[in-house]
Structure 1
């Protein structure tokens, strides 16, 4: 996870440079969006694979594929080869992320899972401090291609470890009935055609909102229609209705991730364009956010059995709402730009509390031999949330920018829109609560067990 984080934070800042070098700046939104879109596909494939034979094989495939895709990107001679490299890298990232979560669910006891997830977050601290400046120095001294080659060399270490050291482990068999009315029967197995359709639609949507004209509007419309038609097939039933248990947990992952990563995209853009802040300040925003996320994740790992997980999700969402409000205030010229930097760190604190808690809740709501499916659904939901929230916010931002001489009102509108998914997450957090078997609610009716909430 450490080297995966280093690879991600070293490569991302260099993508605009690579696109310009390959005469493909116009296709940069597709270069950036291909990774997120492909992680949908990788997450679904990895989840099903982990359920069939344990997390080792999809994890091994993910880290080995990461090395290969970095080499594809490093040797790019056209922008389309770079797009291909980023797309396959997204598949690899989806495999790795889902496999790590499934492995924690299959291998760790309940009281250690929170600390294991906090350790995964801590692995991003050093990469956030060293990755971007080191990659920038290497690119300036030699070439962006050297960075890709170097990261591929570093990633050989976890690839070799996965191949040579990890022991095979089978997921525990689920206990209970297997008939048509059983919880297992209600789990919807994602179909590969639907997964491919959603992955392509996500990339098409992100490309469509990159400009304001008839062609891009048509692409975005087709992408949204395809997402509406096929995305529900990849998620638990009643996800869009926030059904109690796993469906609500999956939905909240989409809402919180979509809001945070959209904020993370717009705050640096506002600092560099509307507020004319030096690039080093923007870099501090990313570093502060990574440190804040890791710190909050460490805190949630120490709150095991002290604070209910669904309450940590609600607290995290409330902190994110405050962060968005601070970012909105920074659209006023009288407010110092440094406040916008702090808004990213505040939002990261909220995510550090909410994201591991949602992952643990998803595992608690899932039978042992379906935790790969749950991890894949969470990864799919995260990617969909990022795609849809960013697309809607970008469309509003583009429209307001076209009608105004200043970009600050467009940023204010974008931040105001982000309040909606965050408020929804805070209000729906109670639906993710884990209920023990035999527990009764205030009316005396039995509360659904964790397995039953898969319905």
Structure 2
């Protein structure tokens, strides 16, 4: 038996074993645990953030604690793509986890709000590095038939944190203080890192092209990454301050952002060119429309229907389970021939969920309508998000996996920033800013504050964007010649 035959037998055996078989168990558990911790942090921080801002006398800077994370993560994504393609994903992954943990510690020990925001910015840089490096690990370490399954595992790792995270963070914040929500997580990172790193070094270390100079980073892309981060930050600032003077940072931000986006995303992304450009565009359209709408659901339920904040947040909890279920469905080998159709169905479900949510502005519509609609919307997202990752790795040459994964994540993160900024500005322009004051009053008082148009102007355009995504799903493969 030849070495080639032995290699084929080993390959077939690993495929049959799956992502939790002996060959991949340590790697799978390690990298999924990293995603689990990031998911827990993301869902827990929102609970502790209001208390932190109040104690640090920084409520006026509250939005920057979120935008600081997102803007630096954009730079981290591009840097990770360059780093992973040229030196392998190990350095980007470990550096990202270290930065993520360091940012948590800085925020958790901050004595003033600006230092807290600095910690969030460092944390965002780490998060951007980690997410792209993990995609490169999947592309290099797992054979193509196993990639849908590990992507489904990534999605499933968000289920428990989406339910337990806010509740656990609330208990910790009340009993021990908000700082423990931040300083407790870095300790937990050690185990998954120790478990996964040996396997990553064995299966995915080093550049794909041994002849490529290890340190030859594309300086133009790094400059564009800085421009996209700064531009996104300026646009967010302008959207949060609706005075005429805010046009200046808004125009400067757009001037930086537009050429940077055109330079960092695949050519033809903005016009939905077939193949990779449409995959990248779809990711942004799906994530931006859904997250842009979801961010306003709890506020709408509290201020317009009088729900308690905890109950309003839990109305979205079932979505974590349906998202994971859909990710599992797309990972089945038997559905592979129908992947594009599933993604079309997914985007239609997302659009329908977003369009249905504001129906609860009518008193006759039961509030549980949102929970049901959002469960279906999350099912649609589970079909789309995991599948875009699978498509991207399928269409990427090994030496381009980092750059293309960075483009996918940039599309995701940037669309969240821009659509949230646009939605927030429209919301504020129609009197939505007055709604937030009612959150501090009783549920009965909140319910008397009526600003339905402010919410409708957020949800209905987001639903239209999601419908556009359904069309983009028809352009994911290039025409056969």
Please indicate, yes or no, whether the TM-score normalized by the shorter chain is above 0.5. Answer: yes
Match of 2:31 in 1: none
Work out the CA distance in 1 between the residues paired with 2:242 and 2:459: 20
Describe the superposition over 1:392-424 as per-residue Cα deviations: whole angstroms up to 9, x where unpaired.
111211112279983111111211111222111
Match of 1:409 in 2: 453
Contact 2:283–2:412 (8 Å) recurs in 1: yes
Contact 1:46–1:376 (8 Å) recurs in 2: yes
Query: What are the within-5 Å matches in structure 2 for residues 440-451 of structure 1?
Result: 440=480, 446=481
Deviation at 1:327, TM superposition (A): 0.7
Match of 2:222 in 1: 192
Work out the CA distance in 2 between the residues paired with 1:71 and 1:335: 45
Match of 1:279 in 2: 309
Which of 71, 75, 83 aligns to 1:37? It is 71
Describe the superposition over 1:207-252 as per-residue Cα deviations: whole angstroms up to 9, x where unpaired.
3222432344443343233222322111111111111111111111
Contact 2:85–2:208 (8 Å) recurs in 1: no
Contact 1:396–1:413 (8 Å) recurs in 2: yes
Match of 2:357 in 1: 327
Which of 330, 337, 340 aligns to 2:370? It is 340
Deviation at 1:137, TM superposition (A): 0.5
Provide the TM-score with structure 2 as the length reference.
0.83
Match of 2:165 in 1: 131
* Corresponding residue SS for 2:306: coil
Contact 1:171–1:369 (8 Å) recurs in 2: no
Of 327-336 and 350-359, more deviation after overlay is shown by: 327-336
Residues 1:315 and 2:345 aligned together: yes
Task: Tell me the number of residue pairs that the alignment of Structure 1 and Structure 2 aligns.
Answer: 426
Match of 1:291 in 2: 321
Query: What are the within-5 Å matches in structure 2 for residues 382-397 of structure 1?
Result: 382-397=412-427
Match of 1:48 in 2: 82
Residues 1:237 and 2:281 aligned together: no
Structure 1 stretches lacking a partner, 5+ long: 179-187, 441-445, 447-455
Work out the CA distance in 1 between the residues paired with 2:108 and 2:179: 5
Match of 2:32 in 1: none
Which of 69, 92, 100 aligns to 1:66? It is 100
Contact 2:69–2:120 (8 Å) recurs in 1: yes
Q: 1:171 to 1:304 in 2, by over 3 A?
A: farther
Of 274-283 and 109-118, more deviation after overlay is shown by: 274-283
Deviation at 1:164, TM superposition (A): 5.7
Q: 1:307 to 1:145 in 2, by over 3 A?
A: same
Could you say which structure has the higher helix fraction?
A: 2
Work out the CA distance in 1 between the residues paired with 2:184 and 2:194: 16
Match of 2:296 in 1: 266
Work out the CA distance in 1 between the residues paired with 2:220 and 2:274: 21
Deviation at 1:173, TM superposition (A): 4.7
Q: 1:194 to 1:127 in 2, by over 3 A?
A: same
Which of 172, 186, 203 aligns to 2:233? It is 203
Provide the TM-score with structure 1 as the length reference.
0.88
Match of 1:75 in 2: 109
Match of 1:423 in 2: 467
Deviation at 1:432, TM superposition (A): 0.8
Of 203-212 and 81-90, more deviation after overlay is shown by: 203-212
Deviation at 1:158, TM superposition (A): 2.7
Work out the CA distance in 2 between the residues paired with 1:401 and 1:135: 31
Which of 15, 18, 22 aligns to 2:49? It is 15
Q: 1:170 to 1:159 in 2, by over 3 A?
A: closer
Work out the CA distance in 1 between the residues paired with 2:98 and 2:350: 36
Describe the superposition over 1:277-334 as per-residue Cα deviations: whole angstroms up to 9, x where unpaired.
1123223134222222111111111255544332222111000011012112122222
Which of 26, 45, 62 aligns to 1:28? It is 62
